[in-house]
């Protein structure tokens, strides 16, 4: 990040020459590892609380602080990758993830488990933030939205499989086995990235220092379009995390369902997300970012409103509780790849920094919504659906700032 990058004239700099295209498989694996690790513990949290003899709210911090770790980690990976390249930062981040996974599997107390989960998050988020930057390095904006759509479609296998896998492993081998699985997946991925992942950064920028990093963040946040894209991503993500935080209490404690039912229902959300991202991948070049954002956020609002109506007028039911979130998840799949691709394209010279800031705002707001839903949910579902509707309305507020011409 050089003074040239931090100036208003950066947008006029000629685009970098085409870089080697990364493997789609590696893109999927590196971006999917963080969501996989985050969600594998969701069905197991009531069991973990009993095993560690702590309140449910304490174990819930393994999700909330995981998101905070992802948020702060992304603030660092973006600018550092603009200086040192994408690949070295990915390898370093995944190494930290492996350390956190081993520590989580052996943690004797809830406090050490939470700390290990933060290490997992800080390391695993490297793939999430730098995967976006790599795609932006290698493709123009509209094509980047399409590639991100395909990556997100394939990546949806991770949150589809991980809750069910986590519930089965916990039932038969205990919750620690879920952390050992994370370790077993991370080692071959680190080796594959070291051997096969190309460096896509065309021009490395000088390390900005703290003042330069803050200056870059301020410059990006001053751009109305960047704020709008970030708001859409953050609030649409917040709807999911509010749901993920409150749902174990609603399904396991309120409805009396086993954790395997919860995990199986979570798969429906992943399928809906996958359908949405596939839609984006097929239509992004034809329709463009603004139309896809209006479509996606409209579906999110419809799902949030439906959640409140079904909760108010119908008795508790597992499918009806998940149905509105399936609509929200499909809307997320349509809106988020387009918003992300547009956000990191506002200033191409700061793509890594923009990706890191976007991810930090996204996960930071997601963590806030886990706290809000978890602290207010009593098992009835009222707080969860209220948080969903609040987030859906927030996407509409920020949609107003999206440039209609893209």
Q: What pLDDT was estimated at residue 253? A: 81
CB 11, CB 152: distance < 8 Å:
no
The stretch 356-378 carries a mean pLDDT of: 85
Can you give the three-state secondary structure of 45-90, one letter per residue?
HHHHHHHHCCCHHHHHHHHHHHHHHHHHHHHHHHHHHHHHCHHHHH
pLDDT per residue as tens digits for the range 177-190:
999 999 999 999 99
User: Is residue 20 packed enough to be buried (19+ CB in 10 Å), middle (13-18) or exposed (0-12)?
Assistant: exposed
Give the pLDDT score at 337. 84
The domains of the chain are located at: 21-199+209-399
Give yes or no for residue 154 having a pLDDT over 80: no
In 3D space, the residue among 374, 388, 260 whose CA is nearest the CA of residue 332 turns out to be 388
CATH classification for the domain delimited by 21-199+209-399, as one of 3.40.50.300, 2.40.50.140, 3.10.20.340, 1.20.1250.20: 1.20.1250.20
**Contact yes or no for 360/75 (Cβ under 8 A):** yes
pLDDT at 406: 52
Q: DSSP readout, 196-246? A: HPPP--SS-----HHHHHHHHHHHHHT-HHHHHHHHHHHHHHHHHHHHHHH
pLDDT confidence band for 4 (50 / 70 / 90) = very low
How does DSSP assign 14-52, residue by residue?
PPPPP-PPPPHHHHHHHHHHHHHHHHTTGGGHHHHHHHH
* Spatial CB neighbours of 308, under 8 Å, sequence gap ≥ 6: 385, 386, 388, 389
Q: Rounded to an integer, what distance in angstroms lies between the CA atom of residue 350 and that of residue 62?
A: 32
Asked if 152 contacts 277 with a C-beta cutoff of 8 angstroms, the reply is yes
Spatial separation of the C-alpha atoms in residues 259 and 263, rounded to whole Å: 6
| Confidence at residue 177, expressed as pLDDT on a 0 to 100 scale | 93
- Alpha helices in 85-109, H assignment, sequence order: 86-106
The pLDDT, as a whole number, for residue 201 is 74
> How many whole angstroms separate alpha carbon 261 and alpha carbon 167?
9
Q: Is the dihedral of CA 277, 281, 282, 283 positive or negative?
A: positive
125's CB contacts (< 8 A; 6+ apart) are: 34, 69, 70, 73, 74, 77, 93, 359, 363
Specify the pTM: 0.73
Q: Does residue 172 carry a pLDDT above 80?
A: yes
What confidence tier does 206 reach under pLDDT thresholds 50, 70, 90?
A: low
Region 31-47 average pLDDT: 85
CA distance 248 to 272: 20
Three-class secondary structure of residue 358 per DSSP: helix
Contact 349, 13 (CB under 8 A): yes
More confident residue, 252 or 325: 325
> By the 8 A CB rule, do 104 and 113 touch?
yes
Residue 77 and residue 67: Cα distance in Å, rounded?
15
Q: Is a pLDDT exceeding 60 seen at residue 316?
A: yes
CB of 380 within 8 A of CB of 100?
no
- Find the mean pLDDT for residues 116-127: 90
How wide is the angle at C-alpha 11 spanned by C-alphas 6 and 14, nearest 5°? 115
């Amino acid at each position: 990040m050089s003074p040239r990058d931090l100036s208003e004239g950066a947008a006029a700099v000629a685009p970098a020459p085409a870089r080697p295209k990364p493997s789609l498989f590696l893109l999927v694996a590196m971006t999917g590892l963080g969501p996989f690790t985050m969600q594998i513990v969701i069905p197991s949290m009531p069991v973990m609380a009993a095993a560690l003899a702590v309140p449910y709210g304490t174990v819930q911090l393994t999700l909330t602080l995981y998101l905070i770790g992802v948020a702060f980690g992304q603030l660092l990976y973006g600018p550092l990758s603009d200086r040192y390249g994408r690949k070295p930062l990915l390898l370093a981040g995944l190494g930290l993830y492996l350390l956190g996974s081993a520590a989580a599997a052996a943690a004797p107390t809830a406090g050490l488990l939470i700390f290990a989960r933060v290490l997992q998050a800080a390391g695993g988020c490297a793939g999430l933030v730098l995967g976006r930057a790599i795609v932006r390095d290698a493709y123009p904006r509209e094509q980047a939205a399409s590639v991100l759509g395909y990556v997100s479609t394939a990546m949806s296998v991770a949150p589809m499989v991980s809750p069910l896998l986590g519930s089965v492993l916990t039932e038969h081998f205990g919750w620690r086995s879920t952390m050992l699985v994370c370790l077993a997946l991370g080692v071959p991925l680190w080796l594959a990235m070291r051997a096969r992942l190309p460096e896509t950064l065309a021009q490395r920028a000088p390390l900005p220092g703290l003042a330069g990093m803050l200056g870059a963040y301020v410059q990006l946040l001053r751009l109305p379009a960047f704020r709008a894209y970030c708001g859409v991503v953050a609030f649409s993500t917040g709807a999911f995390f509010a749901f993920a935080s409150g749902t174990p209490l609603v399904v396991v404690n309120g409805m009396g369902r086993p954790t395997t039912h919860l995990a199986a229902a979570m798969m429906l959300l992943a399928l809906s997300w996958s359908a949405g991202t596939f839609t984006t991948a097929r239509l992004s070049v034809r329709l463009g970012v603004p139309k896809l954002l209006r479509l996606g956020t409209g579906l999110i609002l419809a799902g949030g409103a439906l959640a409140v109506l079904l909760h108010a007028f119908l008795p508790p039911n597992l499918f009806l509780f998940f149905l509105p979130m399936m609509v929200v998840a499909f809307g997320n799949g349509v809106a988020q790849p387009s918003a992300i691709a547009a956000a990191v394209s506002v200033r191409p010279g700061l793509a890594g920094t923009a990706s890191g800031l976007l991810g930090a705002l996204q996960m930071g707001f997601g963590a806030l919504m886990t706290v809000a839903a978890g602290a207010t949910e009593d098992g009835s579902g009222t707080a969860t659906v209220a948080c969903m509707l609040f987030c859906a309305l927030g996407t509409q507020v920020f949609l107003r700032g999206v440039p209609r011409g893209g």
